[in-house]
Structure 1
Amino acid sequence: MIRQNNKVVLVGDGAVGSAFAFSLLQRTTTLDELVIVDRKPELAIGDSLDLEDVTCFDYPTNVHTGTYFDARDATIVVITAGVPRKEGETRLDLINKNEKILRSILEPIMASGFDGIFVISANPVDILTTLTQKITGFPKKRVIGTGTSLDTARLRVLLAQKNHVPVSEVNAYVMGEHGDTSFVNFEEAKLGSKQLTRVMPMDEEDKKNILMAVRKKGGEIIKHKGATYYGVARCLSQICEAILTNRDLSLPVSAPVTGFYGIENNLYIGTPAIINRSGIQHVIETKLSESELAQFQASATKMQKVLDSLESSEN
């Protein structure tokens, strides 16, 4: 059996994009070609030359700069390009700026003949992932956003620290918007093989404090160092690994939820899903408490209002 050529085109070589490329080269042993596209060509050249050295220690990937036309035969196009969140801003504050940037990228990508999988990481990720599918007309399973993967990582680290166990022992998800209407799926959360709420008794105030700590961590990082990038870069590389290696990995991504959780809105939002070579193989409709289901639906409603306001402003 002849293995398919694995090629990733990265659009946006800022802090997130650069950290993602480094992570992907270290973790993936099936990546044949990594193309870096950025509006600052000199930066992309420097980064590609720097990243090239990593291939000596891991997999001999061809790393180089390129243009949107390189997407013509790519397996994945990863979009990290966009204006980053500043201290005091919400992710939704970025929508008008980053929507324009997204459209300027998608047009030449589609003109190249690209027929692979889009993975979106720019914020607000749920809105931009939804727009990517609408603008391109791609099958929904071939458009993925990082969603609540970073929120989930932060939750698992926090719960592991509180319970003095390895992070690998924690199985819990943040769901909904990657933003201020996210929520924790405590109903299904586990510590090892045991229900989290049995090992770690919590009242509603305790649950609220855990959620707020997860939500605020990004802002805390931005306050100290100006941006967050290592965590989301690793989330991105994990999604791409699942695609490139056809792993059937369950990840909390921004996925199409129409018909799930009682949601009929045509949008993407954070939920566990199985990711493999086809993209989103299927959405996992996980068990939610009555309160959690209401929070999920409220989060979806908020996202839909943002999308509706964008459409009305364009008309």
Structure 2
Amino acid sequence: MKRNRVNRVVLIGTGAVGSSYAFAMLNQGVAEELVLIDLNKEKSEGDAMDLNHGMPFAPAPTKIWFGDYSDCQYADIVVICAGANQKPGETRLDLVEKNTAIFKGIVGEVMNNGFDGIFIVATNPVDILTYAVWKFSGLPKERVIGSGTILDTARFRFLLGDYFNIDTRNVHAYIIGEHGDTELPVWSHADIGGKPIKKIIDEREEYTKEDLEEIFVNVRDAAYHIIERKGATYYGIAMGLVRLTKAILQNENSILTVSAYLNGEYNHDDIYIGVPAIVNRDGIREVLEFSLDEVEKEKFAHSVKVLKGIKETIFD
């Protein structure tokens, strides 16, 4: 029997990303219930206590506790942040075998406890692991979503806003493809206030194409720069995950560049990859197909090929 309608989110993995997500969830008052699950029971219990002590300062009450997989039965969303972390000098794809094995166990436990909601996957390599969750869970593709390039897109918009001295929230530009080294900027659909960035570059001599290329390289390599300095990235992705959670729970029909399953879109199939998609209470309502230019099509096809090569070593 279903309980009274309350939004419950279960977080699996309370490391740097997971605990930052829990903190951001509480600060934004996104869900009524937040369950923390982690192999390190004491750390997660401590997190739950610490977060609860901040409740008087939160915008809305959130029931937070350290739980177990049985709490997944009534969850609307299960967010997976568990797994091995990316080390200095290591690419996201280097993590694939370690984390696929970890995920098989996690997803099995979640599904064995009657979960029938939406998975959000944050662990790297996120595109491959989102595919793994879809395979292991047996859920419809629409209800398994990876964080994809939401953070890359946010980094892109921030740097473009900084460059053009415009509020980053008024910059519309997208990074698509693998969340990693083969991602690409969609310059053909980048605009500020409806004006294409390419047109701004042509009209204003203080802005150059070389600067734009440098901005993209800084976006692509941002994680490496942050890892060198502080060991891991977690605040930006945590806020991106909260944004995605909110879009689902509030049935927003928001457009976010998540890792979604392609079934013919962009002329590719059987892969999860970062693309703009409409997200609502049912998960991914629709993958948006931009009309890419020839260079973008080629780069996107390369990104798909790289991911499929990795996927095939595990699933085919």
Which residue of structure 2 lines up, in the alignment, with residue 239 of structure 1?
Answer: 244
Task: Give the counterpart letter for 1:33 in structure 2.
Answer: E
Q: Does 1:229 find its partner at 2:234? A: yes
What TM-score comes out, normalization by structure 1 length? 0.95
Which residue of structure 2 lines up, in the alignment, with residue 273 of structure 1?
Answer: 277
Structure 1: runs of 5 or more not aligned? none
1:58 is paired with a residue whose SS is coil
Task: Give the counterpart letter for 2:51 in structure 1.
Answer: L
Structure 1 stretches of 4+ with a deviation exceeding 6 A read none
2:189 is paired with a residue whose SS is coil
Shift of 1:213: 1.1
Which residue of structure 2 lines up, in the alignment, with residue 28 of structure 1?
Answer: 29
Native 8 Å contact 1:28 1:59 kept in 2 = yes
Which residue of structure 2 lines up, in the alignment, with residue 167 of structure 1?
Answer: 168
Alpha-carbon distance in structure 2 between the residues aligned to 1:194 and 1:215: 24
Native 8 Å contact 1:246 1:276 kept in 2 = yes
Alpha-carbon distance in structure 1 between the residues aligned to 2:53 and 2:248: 24
Shift of 1:132: 0.7
Native 8 Å contact 1:24 1:241 kept in 2 = no
Task: Give the counterpart letter for 1:42 in structure 2.
Answer: E
Native 8 Å contact 1:247 1:276 kept in 2 = yes
Alpha-carbon distance in structure 2 between the residues aligned to 1:35 and 1:311: 31
Which residue of structure 2 lines up, in the alignment, with residue 291 of structure 1?
Answer: 295
Q: Does 1:42 find its partner at 2:46? A: no
Which aligned pairs between 1:62-211 and structure 2 lie closer than 5 A? 62-201=63-202, 205-211=210-216
Shift of 1:100: 1.1
Aligned length: 309
Native 8 Å contact 1:271 1:283 kept in 2 = yes
Alpha-carbon distance in structure 2 between the residues aligned to 1:223 and 1:20: 22
Task: Give the counterpart letter for 1:231 in structure 2.
Answer: G
Alpha-carbon distance in structure 2 between the residues aligned to 1:159 and 1:256: 28
Alpha-carbon distance in structure 1 between the residues aligned to 2:201 and 2:53: 46
Alpha-carbon distance in structure 2 between the residues aligned to 1:158 and 1:10: 30
Q: Does 1:309 find its partner at 2:310? A: no
Identity value in percent: 43
Q: Pick from 219, 224, 231: which aligns with 1:219?
A: 224
Shift of 1:96: 1.0
Native 8 Å contact 1:33 1:62 kept in 2 = yes
Task: Give the counterpart letter for 1:116 in structure 2.
Answer: G
Shift of 1:200: 2.6
Shift of 1:165: 1.2
Alpha-carbon distance in structure 1 between the residues aligned to 2:274 and 2:208: 24
Native 8 Å contact 2:29 2:62 kept in 1 = no
Native 8 Å contact 2:73 2:116 kept in 1 = yes
Alpha-carbon distance in structure 2 between the residues aligned to 1:297 and 1:209: 22
Shift of 1:67: 0.6
Shift of 1:54: 3.1
Alpha-carbon distance in structure 1 between the residues aligned to 2:24 and 2:250: 15
Alpha-carbon distance in structure 1 between the residues aligned to 2:250 and 2:54: 20
Task: Give the counterpart letter for 2:29 in structure 1.
Answer: T
Native 8 Å contact 1:28 1:241 kept in 2 = no
Alpha-carbon distance in structure 2 between the residues aligned to 1:287 and 1:207: 21
Structure 2: runs of 5 or more not aligned? none
| Alignment deviations for residues 104-147 of structure 1 (CA, whole Å, 9 cap, x no partner) | 10111110010000000000000000111011111010000000
Alpha-carbon distance in structure 1 between the residues aligned to 2:214 and 2:98: 32
Native 8 Å contact 2:278 2:288 kept in 1 = yes
Native 8 Å contact 2:201 2:209 kept in 1 = no
Shift of 1:288: 1.1
Which residue of structure 1 lines up, in the alignment, with residue 52 of structure 2?
Answer: 52
Native 8 Å contact 2:145 2:260 kept in 1 = yes
2:178 is paired with a residue whose SS is coil
Alpha-carbon distance in structure 2 between the residues aligned to 1:153 and 1:95: 24
| Alignment deviations for residues 63-98 of structure 1 (CA, whole Å, 9 cap, x no partner) | 000011110110000000011111111100110111
